[in-house]
Amino acid sequence: MCINLYTSRIVLHALGVEDYGIYNVVGGVVVMFSFLTDCMTASTQRFLTFELGTGNKQRLHEVFVTSMHIHIIISLIIIVLGETVGLWFLNEKMVIPPERMTAAYWCFHLSIFTAVLDILSYPYISAIIAHEKMKSFAYIAILDAVLKLLLVYLLLVFDYDRLILYAVLYACEKFLIRSVYNIYCLRNFEECKYSWLFEKSLFRKMASFAGWRMLGSMTYVLYTQGLNLLLNVFFGPVANAARATAYQAQTAVGRFSGNVQTAINPQITKTYASGQMEEMHQIIYKGFRLIFFILLILCLPLVVEAPTVLDLWLVEVPEGSVTFLRILLVTLLVQRCYGVLITAISATGNIKKYEITMGALSLTTVPIAYVVLKAGGPPWSVFAVHLAVVVIANITILSVILPAIKMALKDFLRYAVMRCALVTVLSMVIPLAIKIIFEPSLTVSILNIILTVVSTSLLSLTLGLEPEEWSQMKNKIKAVVAKYKKNNHNG
């Protein structure tokens, strides 16, 4: 997270606000087609994890090979769509200065190349997650971050069009990471050794699951990139740069909590596959709270002290970034903890009703935002619309998900939501009091961040955990302290 935030700062400084906005909006055109990948990746992870839960190794191999075939097909579709529809949109609809069109073309074609590399990596990433090899997953993620840091260094060293150079170097970095995933999986998982087979019934089953996930993935891409394109059309590349900056910070924070959920997901699917419903419910309650508290600890100080954080992080802060960041972090906090419920409904394989409901609500985001902007709304209003839709959607989908996983609403509210709400309210007391009492300064801001992180962490531990969880936590802390003392004594 720290490396990614630092590299974002340097890239923005090296490219400049306009080129940084161009790269993000041009790459966003390619991302618009990535809903095909997202839905298939979810399908692959679900089926691999499910078969691991049942212990059927032959079926596990069939799932992996089938997913590879489908991802190859998706790659070809994205190349065709990107080089036709995407290229037309770039030429006819996007607002890019004429003198930067050559660089924009380079970014566009290389974005398609990196998208294909990502697509072909997903079956291998899914295998690592399904096997719960989180240490290896973490090492590769760290390698990815370090290579991106090296990329930034090379960007500053070479004297060439930096936008084109950045696109080329980023594509090379993606190729290296793709190779690492391949080599690791081939050496450690038998099912990842490719062999030609075509299981028609399995292909149809995975495609059916992916088809319904496609609805959700497509709507996600449409509203996120749709909002990005609306900003470009109404306010130009500078607004895209502000949005990109805020999203970089949101993504870094989200990835931190996302990796926690990545570790939780296989346990939810495996307990469902083995019929352990009560155990699955307990994992969902704990996972919901854990993800929420991690995000709260990270997001609350950033929301309160967003101007100071952005000033320290970036050399040049694009106009509007502060408000964008605050709204996006609140949206992340509301949205991300529901991921454990989405994993649970995916484990059942019956996602039709959920995807239709969520997709219908999400699709309202861009039209409403467009109406608001046409009425004279400021740039940040599109993200306020998004936040409102997310809140309504999260409340609505409970009526779809909870019955499907045989979970009572009162239990979900009691064991997951109520403690999160209590900790959130109490955590806001100290940072707001400091903002009211003291005059603004860098020292006060840093003190506020430290106190907010400490107080929120303590409240999460003491009030956010169930009594037995708190007891387990204290026992683990005591064990670690005892081990540390023993090692020091022996030394």
The 3-class SS string of the chain reads CHHHHHHHHHHHHHHHHHHHHHHHHHHHHHHCCCHHHHHHHHHHHHHHHHHHHHCCHHHHHHHHHHHHHHHHHHHHHHHHHHHHHHHHHHHHCCCCCHHHHHHHHHHHHHHHHHHHHHHHHHHHHHHHHHCCCHHHHHHHHHHHHHHHHHHHHHHHHCCCCHHHHHHHHHHHHHHHHHHHHHHHHHHHCHHHCCCCCCCHHHHHHHHHHHHHHHHHHHHHHHHHHHHHHHHHHHHCHHHHHHHHHHHHHHHHHHHHHHHHHHHHHHHHHHHHHCCCHHHHHHHHHHHHHHHHHHHHHHHHHHHHCHHHHHHHHCCCCCCCHHHHHHHHHHHHHHHHCCHHHHHHHHHHCCCHHHHHHHHHHHCCHHHHHHHHHHCCCCCCHHHHHHHHHHHHHHHHHHHHHHHHCCCCHHHHHHHHHHHHHHHHHHHCHHHHHHHHHCCCCHHHHHHHHHHHHHHHHHHHHHCCCCHHHHHHHHHHHHHHHHHHHHHHHHC
For the chain, what is the domain count?
A: 1
Contacts 24+ apart (CB under 8 A), 156-163: 156/10, 156/14, 161/103, 162/14, 162/15, 162/19, 163/15, 163/19, 163/22, 163/23, 163/100, 163/103, 163/106, 163/107
Phi, psi for residue 110 in degrees, rounded to 5: -70, -30
**Global model pTM greater than 0.85:** no
Decide if 270 is inside a domain: no
Query: Does some domain include residue 418?
Result: no
What pLDDT, on a 0 to 100 scale, did the predictor assign at position 423? 93
Chain mean position to CA 125: 15
Predicted local distance difference test score (pLDDT) of residue 34: 54
Phi-psi region of 198 (alpha: psi -120 to 50; beta: other; left: phi over 0): beta
The sign of the CA dihedral 125, 128, 132, 138 is: negative
* Residue 116 covered by a domain: yes
Is residue 103 domain-resident?
yes
Query: What pLDDT, on the 0 to 100 scale, is given for residue 35?
Result: 55
For residue 128, the enclosing domain spans 1-212
Residue with tokens 């998208």: 115
CA distance 46 to 53: 11
Q: Are 110 and 169 in contact (CB under 8 A)?
A: no
Tell me if 64 is assigned to some domain. Answer: yes
CA 224/CA 142 separation, integer angstroms: 27
Question: Is residue 218 domain-resident?
Answer: no
- Tell me if 23 sits within 8 A of 328, measured CB to CB: no
pLDDT (0 to 100) of residue 25: 65
Asked if residue 491 is part of any domain, the answer here is no
In a domain, 114, yes or no: yes
pLDDT of residue 159: 73
pLDDT tens across the length of the chain (491 residues):
677 667 766 776 777 766 766 766 666 655 555 555 556 666 677 777 777 766 667 777 787 888 888 788 878 888 888 788 777 877 777 777 777 788 788 888 888 888 888 888 888 888 887 777 878 878 888 888 888 888 878 877 777 777 788 888 888 888 898 889 888 988 888 777 777 777 777 777 777 776 667 666 667 767 777 787 787 778 777 777 777 777 777 877 777 777 777 778 888 888 887 788 888 899 999 989 988 998 999 889 988 888 888 887 766 666 777 888 888 899 888 888 888 888 888 888 777 788 888 888 888 888 888 898 888 888 888 888 889 998 998 899 888 889 888 889 999 999 889 999 999 999 999 998 998 888 888 888 889 999 999 999 999 888 888 777 777 777 777 777 777 677 666 65
